[in-house]
Amino acid sequence: MNDPAPITDSYNRHIDYLRISLTDKCNLQCVYCMPSKGLKFFRNSEIMTDGEIVRFVRIAHKHGLRKVRFTGGEPLLRKNIVKLIASIKNIGIADVSLTTNGTMLASLAEDLKKAGLDRVNISLDTMKADRYKEITRKGDIARVWEAIKEAERVSLSPVKINMVPIRGINDDEILSFAALTFEKDYHIRFIEFMPASSDGIWRREKCVSSKEILDAISILGNLESFKFRGEGPSRNYRINGAVGVIGIISPISDHFCNSCNRLRLTSIGRIRPCLFSEEEIDIKTPMRNGASDEEVENLFLQAIKVKPERHLINENKTVSEHIKTMSKIGG
Ligand code: SAM
Ligand code: SF4
């Protein structure tokens, strides 16, 4: 069955992608994402239920939604995640994926695949066990490698690895990550460090720009541009002779707003048209107050209508305030 045509926003972008945060809780506390003193988490009663999420996706699917990514917080902390994935796939969503820190993926990967999960992105910012513990403040890197192998084994592919290079913390590992693509068909995605409320560690000078990343990697060989379906905001390359792919995501140095096709749904049920804008539309309260499908549909359409043309992160000096908490919005 063909997907319904996607809705076009005020700037002629086709909006067909929803990132859903399943929880603001996490079993790690990465230095670039969460403050050391921790966060006050939402109460369980505030979080969207499985039924509410499935209902919203069904309504959005009628307007051409074809890609759903679950994120968080750590989405695998969510009870019934396997069942939820199956329900979303049953709606007819063509591409269902998940971004995870990988610490709980190994034992779930096979069931998730059977439920209809297409792909995973696994976050890994270092290959050094001690450094991993420092960055995540508590994680065990062995569990992430296990998850990567298991994801490969059950064909949650291509396996994508998200790495956030931060100057002075892990930027000396950019080459090792890029070199993995000679042995493995992984997609290594370098994501520019974005401002988040994480003990104020964000400084513009700590953000390693996409140009610097590409310049560093070019030592390994010629970089050929690489196109594939559903590549999203990343610019992709293959190093001559490699089997894997290098993706560069540069919201800071070279924003991709003109091709942005996404909305976010926060764990407490607010549609956020742009990661960097505070504007949100509450769908959970109306749903809990008995809103009809048509009323929920109108809120979805309104969110698309108010999606800003671009973020103003580079114009605004108080930029560190912009993403209050990545884990609460859904990174
Ligand atoms: N817990 C899951 C994980 O870590 O993959 C999903 C949520 S996490 C917020 C989603 C992605 O956002 C991860 O790849 C993480 O590295 C990235 N992220 C978090 N804070 C970031 C920041 N300040 N700048 C750039 N990326 C960030
Ligand atoms: Fe948790 Fe992911 Fe944020 Fe790390 S990046 S603290 S794993 S939500």
Instruction: Specify the DSSP class assigned to residue 166.
Output: B
Cα-to-centroid distance, 326 and ligand 1 (Å) = 7
What's the full length of the chain, in residues? 331
Instruction: Look up residue 277 and give its amino acid.
Output: S
Asked if residues 130 and 19 have their Cβ atoms less than 8 Å apart, the reply is no
Cα-to-centroid distance, 220 and ligand 2 (Å) = 30
How many Cα atoms occupy the beta-carbon half-sphere of 256 within 13 Å?
17
How many Cα atoms occupy the beta-carbon half-sphere of 245 within 13 Å?
19
Spatial separation of the C-alpha atoms in residues 55 and 71, rounded to whole Å:
18
Q: Whose C-alpha lies nearest to ligand 2, atom 4?
A: 30
pLDDT at 319 (0 to 100):
47
pLDDT at 98 (0 to 100):
97
**How many helices (DSSP H) and strands (DSSP E) are in the chain?**
10, 14
Prior bond of 158 cis (ω within 30°) = yes
**0.85 exceeded by pTM:** yes
Under-70 pLDDT residues of the chain:
1-3, 197-198, 228-232, 254-255, 311-331
Asked if residues 145 and 123 have their Cβ atoms less than 8 Å apart, the reply is no
Sorted by where each begins, the domain ranges of the chain are 8-328
pLDDT at 320 (0 to 100):
43
Shortest-distance atom of ligand 1 to CA 202: 23
Ligand 2 pocket check for 327: Cβ under 6 Å: yes
We find that the CATH architecture of domain 8-328 is Alpha-Beta Barrel (3.20)
